Every structure is written in C-alpha cells, then in structure tokens.
Structure 1
C-alpha cells in the first residue's frame, strides 16, 4: 500500500514501453520513500535498515541457487545405483548399504552418512556411468558373483539360457554391468520352472531381443509355451537383423 501511494501513484500517468524503463523509474523514486521519516518519528526506513538489518545480514551466496532432488537408494552387487533408468557407480564397500542421492539437472551425487562418496555427470553416453576406482578387486561380493558363476548357472539350465547370459556379460566396459540382468534371470528361474526359462531364452534369441525385460515379458505372456513355428513364420518375412525383434517384443 505504501509503495502504491508513494511510487506507483506518481507514475500512473506515464507510459512505459519496457519493463526496464519502468524499473528505472521506480528505482529513482524508491530512495525518496526509504529516506522519508516515519510519521511522528525521526527515523526513516533507511535509518532502521542501516542500524538493525544491515549488521545482521550475511553476504549473498557466490553461486546461484541450484534445485536438487533427494532420493534414497541401495546399490546392488554391481555397486551401481539407478536413477531414471541409468546407473551410477559407488565405492564397492558400500554395496547393500542405504545411501542418499542428490540429483540436479546436470549431476548425480551419492551421499553416505552425510558425506559425498561419488559424483557423476547425470547425462552421458550409455546407460552406465562407472568410475574404475569404484570397481571391486578382491571384494567378497565380487568373489561370490562372477561371470564364471553366472555362466555355469545358466549352462545348467540350458544352452539358450547360457547364450543369453553370455550376451549380457560381453561387450561391456565392466562385466559387472551385466550382473543386474543376470540376477534378474536368476529371479525368473525361481518364479518359473527351468524348462520355461530355457524356452523363453530360446524365443528371445530367435527374435534377437535378449534383454531381461523382453524375456520377463515372454514368460508373463506365456509366449514361451507357444510352438516356435508360429514366430518363425513372421520372422522369415523380414531379413534377420539385430534390430528386428519380432511382435512378441512389444507385448
């Protein structure tokens, strides 16, 4: 109300053609308002600011405010945490421990007990952001789960399952990047019998889509129990290629 009466009212008959021009006119009148004594007092707003407010003020932050989102996370045996379908490494000693993530538009920071233990660029190439120093050497979790153990487990189920697991572990900067998918297949083996998992892997290889989610979808839809000839007929109409997944991929 005070500003409306002492500043805006004095400008009401003027026409401004930009916000900057209006701000300049307000800035010219603002000192007069702040230096005008209060009614019945000698002090002005400027006087009280100098004696009360300014001594209590702290300097403005050097950096602009950056919005951050906080989340809780627990890294798996591959010592990565997931953020929006991408994975970021943490020190292997923190596998299985509760962590906090500070997520900004450009950075993912990992906190343990209030201390930052890892920092990654949020948007990068590939799904994994892995620091070599975070990867285990002789850590117990690494000894317990290894590519060899996954391959032996898969071969015990069947050749198609072994081939799927092999593809999950190959062509990656670190074999641990495929551990999540392999553990997912291990869990599928607990939910479905071994014969169905082998059949699902066979169908996944046939449609050139060996991702965990594709195999899980095949089992959920019961496509592994259909005769293979039904899919071969549709696949033969198209050239065999890694990007041609077949209709079952989209169920």
Structure 2
C-alpha cells in the first residue's frame, strides 16, 4: 500500500545494495537495489488497485482482443504499445481504447481507429474525440499527391531564350 504516499514528501536512503524510503521518519519501504539501468522494478504490493487490475494483461492478450474488433483496432493497439518505452505503460490506454466498443460498438470503433491511424492521432483522447464528434462516419480528405516535373522537360526554355 505504498501508493498511499504518492505526492507526499519522502526521504530515501541508498546504499550499494539497498533502497529505503521514509515518511516522517518512519520507514515505509525497503528494497534490494536493482542494477538494471532504466528499467522498472516495481513491487506488486506497492501498486495501486488500478495498476494491479491490469497485471494479468499482456500485449498478446490485448492485441488478440483488438483483432476480434478489427484489423485497424489491432493496428492502433500495437502502435500504442510500440510508442511506450515499456509496453506495460500502454496497457491502460489500450484497455481504454477497447472499452470504446461498449459505448460505440465494434463497427464505429474500427472506423475511428482507421481514421486515427490515417491522421496519426493515436492517443486515447484523440480516438474519444473522433467517436464523440462522429468523425468516424466521415471520409478523411487527404491532400492530393504532388507531382514534380523532371529537371529536363519540353517546357524548359533555358538561358538562351531570355537574351
């Protein structure tokens, strides 16, 4: 229940092998230090109930669920997971995306995911906005492809034309 101390001022004591946290002089946690640089070493018991609720989830399970809704939904979930340094940080966002199917239905969610991918708006809040404003029911207007003329072509006059 260490999450109770979120946003509280705590003191820490680090040794070569141990990390200790103190709140108002009382030790609230003690852990063996991890030598893994840039990696999370969270103790499950210290997680909030919301984070513990997603412990049983993993990327393949989320992708499989998204695939049942449609290929664009699966692609969006995969993109959200790839955007995070640690895919586990994207689990809640993926669950939020998948929950939109309850409110809007699989077909609308699939169309919204297609639009989100097309316009590179892959956050959960962007998807919510697309669904809320009914943009999933409208076609995405893309800019026409630019055509470039080759450097040498029939309409090139050259410097002799102007003298």
Is 1:207 paired with 2:119?
A: yes
- How many angstroms does 1:102 deviate by? 2.8
Map 1:30-179 to 2 at 5 A. 99-103=4-8, 116-117=28-29, 132-134=40-42, 144-179=56-91
C-alpha distance in structure 2 between counterparts of 1:211 and 1:194, whole Å? 18
Unaligned runs of 5+ in 2: 10-20, 31-37, 45-51, 147-163
Is 1:181 paired with 2:88?
A: no
How does the TM-score come out when normalised to structure 1?
Answer: 0.41
**Greater relative contact order: 1 or 2 (C-alpha under 8 angstroms, separation 6 or more)?**
2
Indicate if the aligned counterparts of 1:200 and 1:223 stay in contact, CA closer than 8 A: yes
Larger radius of gyration: 1
SS, match of residue 6 in structure 2: strand
Unaligned runs of 5+ in 1: 1-93, 119-129, 240-251
TM-align CA RMSD? 3.2
Q: 1:135/1:180 Cα in 2 relative to 1: closer, same or farther (>3 Å)?
A: farther
| Residue 49 (structure 1) aligns with | none
Q: How many residues align?
A: 119
